[in-house]
Structure 1
Amino acid sequence: MSRPKIIGLTGSIGMGKSTVAAMFERAGIPIFDADAEVRAMQGPRGELIPAIEAAFPGSTGEKGVNREALGKLVFADKEKLARLEAIVHPAVGRKRAQFLEKHANAPLILFDIPLLFEGGGHVQVDHVVVVSAPAEVQRQRVLARPGMAPEKFEHVLGLQTPDAEKRELADYIIDTGVSLEETEEQVRALVETLIAPL
């Protein structure tokens, strides 16, 4: 049985990955957004709330996971972070399997996965697309975000595979250091390239 070809979309913080994912969606490609699934499962009455509260008492409330409280608990503690990931990752895997089933007849689907290389997910996709922009553009974008400080930005960068390395490992690169129209043109051209042989 043939299955859809899978694009793995990734990019470091501030590179414009969400914007590019929306462009793929506009081009008719079904998108699995790992972050959005996690937010839903950790939101009000989300299915992961009981397990997270049991593992990290006081980290949830009626609005779901208190991201700040949970972040303080796990951010600097690798063991606790691993415990949280052991709750979250299998649940995301189940959602991804359901998504694949639902879109089994699509020629092409896209997994939007921020930590594609860090989590080893790049080996499970057919094409790796990295969203990238010049470092100074990335820095400006990130530091313009509310609540973002240079130290926090550096910390996040330290947790991610460097952009240069991602570009080396990519099958395709979408440059977001240009206008939105030019970026969208790159996305449309890539979709045509990937769908043509199918």
Structure 2
Amino acid sequence: MKYINNPYIVGLTGGIGSGKSTISKMFKKFNIPIIESDLVAKNIIFFKKDIYKKIKSKVGMNTKLKNKNFVLREYIFESSHNLLWINQLIHPIVIRKIKNIIKKYTKFPYIIWVSPLLIENNLQFFVDRVLLINVDPDLQLKRASLRDKLEKEKIFKIFNFQISQENRLQYAHDVINNYNLDTVKKKVFFYTNII
């Protein structure tokens, strides 16, 4: 089942710290529309009043907006029950919103939909192609801890809620190994010409 026949949808995914944001920005330089699930979800959580009220009463989040993401992420990855609760609350709204965004890009040959939990949420069935960002787990851990200023134990918690890279590879049509920036840039340029 597809949302729409046009444009062609590439689902870009990978674990925490794999470099999804960096690589999606490279695609954006080639004027390829980028839709980010996380950004859509954050806008719904923090700016849709009824949703925010429900989450605030459950989670707290009596902090400045800058810190709310961290408070919410800690809550989500504290237990599978918490993750399920958030997913059931916002996932259908996120999907509807993304569906509407996609309709705005019908004149483009393809778009990139960045979704960290593409496979975990069975969204691979809504895209034409899955592009996986692959990285060594040790490097992944290092990048995630530097970027998000998270303790390693908390990053491992997030790892535990994501499927393994081996499982992701089973769904991937294409893989970008994110080890060397120059090589990645060449791969992105090559990829933009084969879709």
Q: Number of aligned pairs?
A: 190
Counterpart in 2 of 1:4?
7
Cα gap change, 1:191/1:68 in structure 2, threshold over 3 Å: closer, same or farther? closer
Cα displacement (A) at 1:109: 0.7
Greater helix content? 2
**Mean CA deviation greater in 73-82 or 183-192:** 73-82
Aligned counterpart for 1:168 among listed residues 167, 170, 189? 170
Report whether the alignment pairs 1:53 with 2:75. no
Report whether the alignment pairs 1:33 with 2:39. no
Matches within 5 A, 1:19-30: 19-30=22-33
Aligned counterpart for 1:42 among listed residues 40, 45, 50? 45
Q: Gaps spanning 5+ residues in structure 1: where? A: none
CA distance in 1, matches of 2:153, 2:166: 21
Aligned counterpart for 2:109 among listed residues 107, 110, 122? 107
**Mean CA deviation greater in 15-24 or 133-142:** 133-142
Q: Gaps spanning 5+ residues in structure 2: where? A: none
**Mean CA deviation greater in 65-74 or 141-150:** 65-74
1:125-176 per-position Cα deviation (integer Å, ceiling 9, x unaligned): 1110000122232222123235322211211111111112212321000111
Output the amino acid matched with 1:152: K
Q: Larger Rg: 1 or 2?
A: 1
Which stretches of structure 1, 4 residues or longer, exceed 6 Å deviation after superposition? Answer: none
Contact 2:15 2:159 in 1 (8 A): yes
**Mean CA deviation greater in 149-158 or 105-114:** 149-158
CA distance in 2, matches of 1:71, 1:176: 25
Give the structure-2-normalised TM-score.
0.86
Q: Secondary structure at the match of 2:182?
A: helix
Q: Secondary structure at the match of 1:66?
A: helix
Matches within 5 A, 1:12-161: 12-43=15-46, 46-47=47-48, 49-54=49-54, 56-57=56-57, 59-60=60-61, 66-71=68-73, 73-161=75-163
CA distance in 2, matches of 1:60, 1:148: 18
Contact 1:4 1:109 in 2 (8 A): yes
Identity %: 25
Cα displacement (A) at 1:118: 0.4
CA distance in 1, matches of 2:147, 2:5: 42
